[in-house]
Chains A and B, each alone.
Chain A
Amino acid sequence: MDTLHDLGGREGFGPLPLDGQDQPFHHDWEGRMWGIARTCRVRSITIDWFRHGLERMVPADYLTQSYFEKWCATYFALLIDAGVFTEADVAAGTLATPGTPAAPMDLAEVLAINRASHASFAVEPTAPPRFALGDRVKTRRHIAAAHTRLPAYARDRVGEVIAHHGAHVFPDEGAHGRRVADHLYTIAFAATELWGETANPKDSVTLDLWERYCV
């Protein structure tokens, strides 16, 4: 779906917000949201269902809410969807039927979990790769899936394969809870191919794209 999250190449935005504030968390609630996100793992919420949850936010909210506000909105929506709590629980601010409290973890345990979360998304390929390094490939013009990682600005464009990463889980299916293998490549596009002749001919943009995104 071409929702507002697909921002690459959109014009009309102003200067970057470079206000010099560099602390890890700007508000206490941002840190709380980060800690919730690192800990509340619900198996059925795959990385791509979570991303699609963000994409389905109310469009005006998507553009105006900060990063961790978006996470908060999406956790509410997807945890209700998964049956972890109900809309009535949210309205009440408390659960009608609480569960067993989780055991607290200290800094050392959390650091160990962080280290162990060095996860691979590689999967066993189900077919040989169609492309080799140096091949020039064209991306698809249309995408029918609800969730995709082929941005609009890189559709129907020709690029060069500069790396092959084996097969990774295909996001368009992962957003529906299905683990489907597809070959993943890094594809380099000349800036002039993406943006026209006014771009610097020495500049390029690379994207990590699945084979199914190519024609």
Chain B
Amino acid sequence: MSSYDSERAAALHRHLHSHLPSDPALRVKTLESLVVERGLVAPETIDAWVEAYSEEIGPKRGAAVVARSWTDPGFRGRLLEDAAEAIKEFGFEGSATGHLKAVANTPSCHNLVVCTLCSCYPFSILGMSPAWYKSTEYRARAVREPRAVLAEFGVILPDAVGIRVWDSTAELRYLVIPERPEGTEGWEEARLAALVTRNAMIGAERRLRVG
């Protein structure tokens, strides 16, 4: 049973800080040994999770969802209405997508997603989050100077295009639907999906490159 005692948690952190090895690989190895011995997890199960999020679950899932939103107006409607339900059509629901919200870019509005308080991310639809998304720099700056942040990704927005920054402070998670690039009329879903990048689905990219 947990104590829910904030000061006890802080005291444990301070004590561990001066007793754990400095190498993170050794710290995690010690943690793994203890939870395996306790019977909370088997090492093979950890292998399977690494494989799942290296090979099976990643931004290709989100890209498939975005591509269908471009080709199937009915699906787009369902996605914008309730993304957590709509991604079940692909079987992509899972970790941190129980309250997924899709937000669509338009010619006059660009969406950008951040979690300033930790690093919340829709894992089951986008896979592991990039290092920059979890950085103190991004968490601090995205809400205050989104235009300067976007410029570092090469996205220069005219003043007339508004930016809406979504700070994931609750259990909602956000998926940005980029605009469909021109010159892709008649393309099939799979070909369209190959254009959709992870960064675009976070809002750190705006114009998808064709070919």
Contact = CB atoms under 8 A, between A and B. Distances in A.
Given A51-B118, A76-B16, A115 B93 contact: yes
A136 interface: no
B60 interface: no
Given A184-B170, A202-B159, A107 B98 contact: no
B98 A90 contact: no
B99 A202 contact: no
Q: Indicate the size class of the contact surface on chain A.
A: 35 or more
Contacts of B172: 165, 186, 208
A132 interface: no
Contacts of A27: 24-25
Interface string B103-123: 000000000001011110000
A100 interface: yes
A9 to B, nearest CB: 4
A206 B44 contact: no
Interface string A23-63: 01111110111111011101011010101111011100101
A127 interface: no
Contacts of A84: 34-35, 38, 40
B98 A119 contact: yes
Contacts of B114: 8
Contacts of B50: 25, 31-32, 34-35
A205 B165 contact: yes
A206 to B, nearest CB: 5
Contacts of A63: 136
Name, among B10, B34, B58, B128, the residue most crowded by chain A CB atoms within 10 Å (CB to CB).
B34
B170 A101 contact: no
Given A5-B117, A18-B132, A115-B94, A165 B99 contact: yes
Contacts of A58: 13-14, 17
A149 B2 contact: no
Contacts of B4: 49, 175-177
B78 interface: no
B131 to A, nearest CB: 6
A54 to B, nearest CB: 7
B50 to A, nearest CB: 4
Contact of B163 (A7, A175, A202): A202
A66 B128 CA distance: 14
Contacts of A158: none
B54 interface: yes
Contact of B137 (A15, A90, A186): A15
A135 interface: no
Contacts of A52: 6, 9
A81 interface: yes
Interface in A120-173: 120-122, 146-147, 149-151, 153-154, 165, 168, 171
Interface of A: 1, 5-11, 13-19, 21-22, 24-29, 31-36, 38-40, 42, 44-45, 47, 49, 51-54, 56-58, 61, 63, 65-69, 72-85, 87, 89-91, 93-95, 98-107, 109-111, 114-122, 146-147, 149-151, 153-154, 165, 168, 171, 175-177, 184, 186, 188, 191, 194-195, 200, 202-210
Given A17-B135, A18-B132, A90-B34, 13 more contacts: A8-B143, A9-B140, A53-B9, A58-B13, A81-B8, A89-B34, A93-B30, A93-B33, A99-B37, A109-B48, A149-B170, A150-B169, A203-B146
